Amino acid sequence: SLAVSAAWSQNGGLVQTGSDIPAKWQKPEADYDYVKREVMIPMRDGVKLHTIIVVPKGADHLPMLLERTPYDANFFTEKDSPHLRDIVWAANREWVDDGYIFVYQDIRGKYGSEGDYVMTRPPMGPMNPTKTDDTTDAWDTVDWLVKNVSESNQRVGMIGSSYDGWTVTMALLGPHPAVKVAAPESPMIDGWMGDDWFHYGAFRQVNLDYFTEQTSKTGKGDSGPRWSADDYQNFLDAGSAGNWAIENGFQQLSFWNRLSTHPAYDAFWQGQALDKITVAHPSTVPTMWLQGLWDQEDMYGAIHTWEALKAKGMIANNHLVMGPWYHSQVNGAAENLGPLKWKGDTAADFRRNVLIPFFDTYLKDRKPAEPTPQVLIYNPAENHWDKFSDWPGATEQHLTPLYLQSNNGLAFRAASAGEDSYVSDPAKPVPFIEVPLQFSTHPRWATWLVQDQRFVSTRTDVISYQTPILTEPVRVEGAPFADIFAKTTGTDGDFIVKIIDVYPPTVAEQPEMGGYQLPVSMDIFRGRYRKSFAEPSAIPAGEVQEYKFRLPTMNYVFKPGHRIMVQVQSTLFPLYDRNPQSYVPNIFFAQPQDYQKATVSIEHGSSGASAVLLPVVPASTAIQ
């Protein structure tokens, strides 16, 4: 029974002394269908981690679903309701129906947990001389859970997206035997090559807000102040990313200091590239690596780790899933991605029909209705999931060059010699989405990779090449490459290459899609790294150089009536910091006078056979 406050009972409730706040407030939860426990779990070095355990009432022998997060464990169950289904976040509702115990933990140093926080803390070793990392923290947590959650069947599945996918991947480097299954969802794996921080060395300024939000406080810090409503203008005014950081006090932030002194792919980045570390310590835990096909934050990690495990012969327990999703959309509703409409809710269907049955196989000894496919990738053009027994990965031998031609043509045959030039002016960089823009507008950020490119295709600093209207389908399965031969009057420069599906001029079913230029695969490459990611070098002005880089994976069909387009440009602002186009040792700290206009010439034919290399297949290799 709940004690009646002594002050209240005095003098018929007229007395108003003492505190109106009871020493301990207790909610009457007898009729709730779950019990929520908040515990501090001790790690091997004595540091305690704040953990929330939510157990359905009457649970007996249920598995535990563990998510380790730097984003506040309270967030996952913060609503107040007597029903477990109503308090968990959307991604977990189907798991409630299936019967799970939920465990959410703040990682070391964040929110309610003790200890020091280090951004994506490297595994113990030369870069982490302590006696703990997120592998040991996960191990100690699981060990405690199996000994202390009496309603469990002592089996644990680990899940989480992005940073939380990184924590899953870290746990897999030395998993506790009770971890029976795992799903790193859009895991952050290599922050330099193609996950959050950089893409092939080009810095993603959207992270500047993240640095203060994540590392200025134990809880959530502020994003940086804004002087104008338009981030295109704000970042132009700041000059360089480094100047933005200095103006906003980032010298106090250790992670920023480390990152900004390692702009190249040196030992700092190589030493924490988690795909390489995973392959050196592969686990036997059944694992589903998954990500979105248009994942605007962590497009690199899942596919590269899976391919590396495949190369190591570890395919049997590692599955690959790529959905038609933006970053982490797997955990929400996914009936559409921007204007692209799918059949049903591709995320909820996937969770219900693939992900949970996969976990149940190992956590509940329940056979799935259908065996979990080795590889499952959505085909956005045909609007269905495809199952594959294997996936080609970056097999260059199967790539078909689609050559850039004169007169803005594009064809599967060698081009005649020639070049197309444009002036790239750092004072007027090409926006990545229409201005005015704000990084914080999530719907625009989440869908920027599918934005209709017509908003820039008439700019003089964006060159478009396109095929005639296709009369036959062109089917592509795998990772394309950009292979651009170019010269510049500058001594550094960036290259952005987009593979675009140009819709027919009219689309009866969805008129707004008439003529739409849909980017299917695009990326940016910082020219100074064309010879070596670790050791940048100035571009010799006026000399043709080759810029060859892998683009994001496709499972796609360019249909008859459509065209394939390739666009090339030098800026994608303010998402990517501007390349000054004159070589400086560290672009973070380029000075105003370093930013120079450059004339960039894209070569075709014998002067440089620029192309995109497409993994064309004659027919689908999906399991029918």
Binding site residues, ligand PG9, CB under 6 A: 120, 162-163, 166, 188, 196, 210, 297-298
On whether the CB atoms of residues 330 and 294 are closer than 8 A, the answer is: no
Two structure tokens written together for 223:
């994003």
Q: Which residue has the tokens 């700041």?
A: 238
C-alpha span between 74 and 599 (Å, rounded) = 53
Residues contacting 66, CB < 8 A, separation 6+: 103, 105, 138, 141, 142, 145, 156, 157, 158, 159
For the chain, the straight-line distance linking the first and the last C-alpha, in angstroms and rounded, comes to 63
For the bound state, the minimum distance from the C-beta of residue 186 to ligand PG9, rounded and expressed in Å, comes to 7
Per the CB < 8 A criterion, the answer to whether 205 and 244 are in contact is yes
- Nearest CB to ligand PG9, comparing residues 187 and 242: 187
Choose between 120 and 601: whose C-beta lies nearer to ligand PG9. Answer: 120
Closest residue (Cβ) to ligand PG9?
A: 162
CB of 408 to ligand PG9, least distance (A): 36
Nearer to ligand PG9, 309 or 446 (CB): 446
The Cβ-side half-sphere exposure at 397, using a 13 Å CA radius, reads 1
Backbone angles phi, psi at 515, to 5 degrees: 75, 5
Let me know: does 472 contact 540? Beta carbons within 8 Å.
no
Q: Which is nearer to ligand PG9, 193 or 565 (CB)?
A: 193
Q: To the nearest whole angstrom, how small is the minimum distance from the Cβ of residue 330 to ligand PG9? A: 12
Query: Exposed (0-12), middle (13-18) or buried (19+): which is 360, by Cβ within 10 Å?
Result: buried
Nearest distance, CB of residue 191 and ligand PG9, angstroms: 7
Question: In the bound complex, what is the minimum distance in angstroms from residue 187's beta carbon to ligand PG9?
Answer: 8
Q: Which residues pair with 52 in a beta bridge?
A: 38, 104
Alpha-carbon distances, residue 598 vs 156, 171, 577 (angstroms): 56, 47, 16
Tokens encoding 322: 């790529």
- Minimum distance from residue 104 beta carbon to ligand PG9 (Å): 15
CB-CB neighbours of 236 under 10 Å: 17
Angle at 191 between CA 316 and CA 110, to 5 degrees: 95
Distance CA 433, CA 586 (A): 27
Residue 561 C-beta: closest distance to ligand PG9, Å: 37
Q: Residue 500: in which H helix or E strand, if any?
A: strand 494-502
Q: How far is the CB of 326 from ligand PG9 (least distance, A)?
A: 11
| Shortest distance, position 24 Cβ to ligand PG9, whole Å | 35
Q: Which is nearer to ligand PG9, 161 or 466 (CB)?
A: 161
Nearer to ligand PG9, 556 or 576 (CB): 576
- d(CA 306, CA 312) in angstroms, rounded, equals 10
- Nearer to ligand PG9 by Cβ, of 231 and 419: the residue is 231
Residue 117 or 503 with smaller CB distance to ligand PG9: 117
Question: Rounded to the nearest whole angstrom, what is the least distance from the CB of residue 577 to ligand PG9 in the complex?
Answer: 17
H or E element, residue 499: strand 494-502
Sequence-ordered list of residues with C-beta below 8 angstroms from that of 503, at least 6 positions apart, any chain: 513, 514, 515, 516, 517, 518, 562
* Nearest by Cα to 183 from 317, 49, 335: 317
Q: Which is nearer to ligand PG9, 69 or 488 (CB)?
A: 69
- Cβ-based nearer residue to ligand PG9, 399 or 572: 572
CB of 70 to ligand PG9, least distance (A): 8
Residue 409 backbone dihedrals phi, psi, to 5 degrees: -85, 170
Spatial CA neighbour of 204 closest among 443, 436, 394, 445: 445
Cβ nearer to ligand PG9, comparing 274 with 602:
274
> Residues 238, 208: contact at Cβ < 8 Å?
no
Are β-strands 545-550 and 611-614 bridged in parallel, bridged antiparallel, or unpaired?
unpaired
3-state secondary structure of 365: coil
Minimal distance in Å, beta carbon 571 to ligand PG9?
23
Handedness of CA 432, 120, 378, 334 (dihedral sign): negative
| Residue 162 C-beta: closest distance to ligand PG9, Å | 3
Q: Which is nearer to ligand PG9, 163 or 422 (CB)?
A: 163
Least Å distance, CB 297 to ligand PG9, is 4
The minimum distance between CB 167 and ligand PG9, in angstroms, equals: 10
CA distance readout (Å), 379 to 383, 406, 556: 6, 32, 6
327 vs 475 by CB, closer to ligand PG9 = 327
Provide the minimum distance between the beta carbon of 509 and ligand PG9 in the complex, in angstroms, as a whole number: 34
Characterize the bridge pairing of strands 517-526 and 494-502. Answer: antiparallel
Taking Cα atoms as reference points, which of 361, 285, 299 lies closest to residue 329?
299
The distance from CA 9 to its chain's CA centroid, rounded to whole angstroms, is 57
Which is nearer to ligand PG9, 276 or 597 (by Cβ)? 276
**One-letter amino acid of 93:** R
C-beta of 297 vs 360, nearer to ligand PG9: 297
Q: Whole-angstrom Cα distance, residue 65 to residue 317?
A: 19
* Bridge partners for 298 per DSSP: none
Q: Which is nearer to ligand PG9, 206 or 410 (CB)?
A: 206
